[in-house]
Structure 1
Amino acid sequence: MTFDPAAHLPDDLLARIRERAPIHDRDNTFPDDDLRELRDAGYLSILVPAELGGAGLGLEQAAVLQQRLAEAAPATALAINMHLVWTGVAKVFSDRGVPGLEFVQRGAAAGEVFAFGISEGGNDLVLFGSDTAAEPQDDGAYAFTGTKIFTSLAPVWTKLGLHGLDTTSDDAPKLVFAFVDRTDAVETADDWDTLGMRGTQSRTTRLRRAVASAEHVVRRIDPGPNPDPIVFGIFSVFELLLASVYTGIARRTLDLAVDAASTRRSKKSGKTYAQDPDIRWRIADMALAYDALPPQIAALARDVDERADHGARWFTLLSGTKHRAVTMAKHVADQAMLVAGGSSYFTRNELSRLYRDVLAGMFHPSDPESAHSTAASAWLGPVED
């Protein structure tokens, strides 16, 4: 059956989401209406198998949809991304016969909202370490104490997927991946007042012995680089869906630049700027940069879906795609501002908001330093002691 993106993200829904985007950016509010409409449309369960109540899509199709959503509202797309990461990891598990995340699939189909609580201030180990304490309980549960940053969906999530370090068990240290409910042991700070991506409301989350029940403790693994499915699942889905969001932003900025070039008219020549050779070069440069990313994302997402074996190259391929997507999107946004001229500098201009939103891409893992380090190690080997 042919995949139709409009069947999952109809044009009229996207139009309403696009109309609300500048309001949430201006007011620094979470797009509750976007979430409600996306949930009603079944979007939260696009990666859940049909037999469990979802749409049964693959990562390749979800990547296309996230590009489409980001064209309408980058902050909404980025926030929803974090929920889709966990449903995507659950799909990676189920596709490979690994149990443990069925509750995520059932929960997403029932309307649960899953948030992503991995990032910690100053922790450049990311998935390979944690400053959050994971304290084992007698019944197999874990109590988590620590601080997570950039927790998108902060006002609305119902379950937070996170990790912490167990230093007290007999086989310690172990990294523990689990899910906690929103209780009094979880404090969400009201500290999201940022340059861009304001609608994500990615606030700081403080955990004070927040308990994950035994059935929601997903994985206990050794710290550091690890072949465990939880690491590959998070890394692959996170990087490719992030790349999709920023590629979607790039497409929207390119379209706006084309519109501006086609409507602005030069007093000097009397022609539209679409006839100006310098502007034509800028548009072409933007298009050449943008065109490379959708096929890259599609190919790698398809490889995840089809369980291709890239071995140790997976991490270079994934981090490289994310890095290229965000640098491309920033470049395209820079050029679009110049094509559109001084009007794009006003906050009422959509390009102004997209320019601010796109800057967030550099801060997501893998950051430029990590992506380059991964590539250097893959091609040159590890740094000698």
Structure 2
Amino acid sequence: MPTQILDDDLLLTIRGRAAILDRDNGFFDDDLADLRAAGYLGAMVPREMGGAGLGLRELAHEQARLAGAAPATALAVNMHHVWVGVARYLHDRGDSSMDWLLEEAAAGEVFAFGYSEAGNDLVLLGSRTQARPDGEGGYTFHGRKIFTSNSPGWTRLGVMGLDSTTDPENPVIVHAFVTRDGGGFEILDDWDTIGMRASQSRTTVLDGAHAPADRVMRTIAPGPSLDPYVMGIFTSFEMLLASVYAGIADRALELAVETVRKRTSMKTGKPYSQDPDIRWRVASAALAQDGIWPQIDQVAGDIDAGVDRGAAYFRATAGLKVRATETARYVVDEAIRVSGGSTYFNRSELGRLYRDVLAGIFHPSDDESAHSTVAQSLLGPLE
């Protein structure tokens, strides 16, 4: 069994807050405080550095359990764990350049992901944000980032931007970290979505946010890269996203089973769990979901073990993310179909999961990007 940090009582407490946060469009301050107190922010930090020492595979299971209680909390905390996952990925491969992040995560600092930009389908391969050198090895960042989860709570923000001034003929993408108390940014109060509301993934306007030289992690030429930093971001991001949506699907299936056992047919006088059509739908959802966890365990286990798949990890993790999110949408839909019209009310947990699970289609890699990645792995690049 994977190591567990989150006990059942804590998850019940967090589940009890989820509907209220969704209704009020609030941030999960209390959840975050409880997760910090439980040592969850340092889940992937090695034990000798003050953390719990979980690997990516173990954390994927914990994130799924958290998502089953409160999807938006899990999604936002995911972005913190991605950065810890990157630092751990490098640390395990002999690169100590991000050990500072592991130490800060263990101490309770909250990390967020300031990479997404409207209309930027290059994702990690390009940026519309300007990275302006400060003359001392650091940079200031100027641009607009969307979907910045943990907006009210982060203390450290990972950002990237394009430096096209140092060497105009050879621009580089700059990956760095800025601090909340360093200023140079504005967080807009623009998060009013149909689902994942407690994540408060607001727009962040960078206007001079400064990263000193020791917080500039990489300068990399635009385009595809096998730099371990990029590999760490991509694999951690995709794997942990897959786990969150797998957790939503697990919970939806659990609720469906509970519901059909309680509902009784006026036609037959029997519970709906005895209806062949209902049973087929529940089984169909379970069959789809049963294929996801073995994939998560295999790929995450390989990453933990340092198995070198090279560029093949892009295909493996992008495909897994798409399969997990699409499967989760299917499972939630089937759960709603067997559970009846009560799920159409906002008070229904399944109704909330139906709205939350939709967010999966927007995270990178999206369906188109994943297909492009797989096609390139099989057929080579477009000419």
Structure 1-normalised TM-score?
0.98
Alignment of 1:1-385 (within 5 A): 3-5=2-4, 8-170=5-167, 172-182=170-180, 183-384=182-383
Partners of 1:178 and 1:314 lie apart in 2 by: 24
Deviates more, 1:303-312 or 1:9-18: 303-312
Partners of 1:374 and 1:4 lie apart in 2 by: 33
Letter in 2 for 1:51: E
Deviations 1:261-287 (A, max 9, x none): 101000001100000000000000000
Deviates more, 1:290-299 or 1:148-157: 290-299
Deviates more, 1:96-105 or 1:273-282: 96-105
Structure 2-normalised TM-score?
0.98
Partners of 2:213 and 2:96 lie apart in 1 by: 14
Partners of 2:277 and 2:37 lie apart in 1 by: 46
Partners of 1:367 and 1:243 lie apart in 2 by: 12
Letter in 1 for 2:173: L
Residues 274, 280 of structure 1: 8 Å contact kept: yes
Partners of 2:123 and 2:96 lie apart in 1 by: 24
Q: Which runs of 5+ in 2 are unaligned?
A: none
Percent identical: 59
Deviations 1:331-370 (A, max 9, x none): 0011111000101101100000000000000000000000
Partners of 1:219 and 1:277 lie apart in 2 by: 57
Q: Which runs of 5+ in 1 are unaligned?
A: none
Q: CA deviation at 1:307?
A: 1.1
Deviates more, 1:90-99 or 1:74-83: 90-99
Letter in 2 for 1:316: R
Q: CA deviation at 1:149?
A: 0.3
Letter in 2 for 1:374: T
Count of aligned pairs between the two proteins: 381
Q: CA deviation at 1:208?
A: 0.5
Partners of 2:341 and 2:48 lie apart in 1 by: 53
Q: CA deviation at 1:44?
A: 0.1
Partners of 2:45 and 2:308 lie apart in 1 by: 23
Partners of 1:100 and 1:240 lie apart in 2 by: 22
Letter in 2 for 1:174: V
Letter in 2 for 1:20: R
Q: CA deviation at 1:50?
A: 0.8
Deviations 1:179-218 (A, max 9, x none): 0011431100000000100000000000001100111001
Deviations 1:148-180 (A, max 9, x none): 000000001001001100001137301100000
Residues 2, 61 of structure 2: 8 Å contact kept: no
Partners of 2:267 and 2:370 lie apart in 1 by: 46
Residues 3, 54 of structure 2: 8 Å contact kept: no
Deviates more, 1:166-175 or 1:29-38: 166-175
Q: CA deviation at 1:379?
A: 1.8
Q: Report the 3-state secondary structure (helix = DSSP H, G, I; strand = E; otherwise coil) of the residue aligned with 2:311.
A: helix
Partners of 1:294 and 1:19 lie apart in 2 by: 26
Partners of 2:303 and 2:114 lie apart in 1 by: 23
Residues 188, 204 of structure 2: 8 Å contact kept: yes
Residues 166, 172 of structure 1: 8 Å contact kept: no
Q: Report the 3-state secondary structure (helix = DSSP H, G, I; strand = E; otherwise coil) of the residue aligned with 1:162.
A: strand
Q: Report the 3-state secondary structure (helix = DSSP H, G, I; strand = E; otherwise coil) of the residue aligned with 1:211.
A: strand
Letter in 2 for 1:75: A
Residues 151, 202 of structure 2: 8 Å contact kept: yes
Partners of 1:207 and 1:38 lie apart in 2 by: 28
Letter in 1 for 2:102: Q
Partners of 1:57 and 1:225 lie apart in 2 by: 29
Q: Report the 3-state secondary structure (helix = DSSP H, G, I; strand = E; otherwise coil) of the residue aligned with 1:187.
A: strand
Q: CA deviation at 1:123?
A: 0.3
Q: CA deviation at 1:382?
A: 2.2
RMSD value, Cα: 0.9
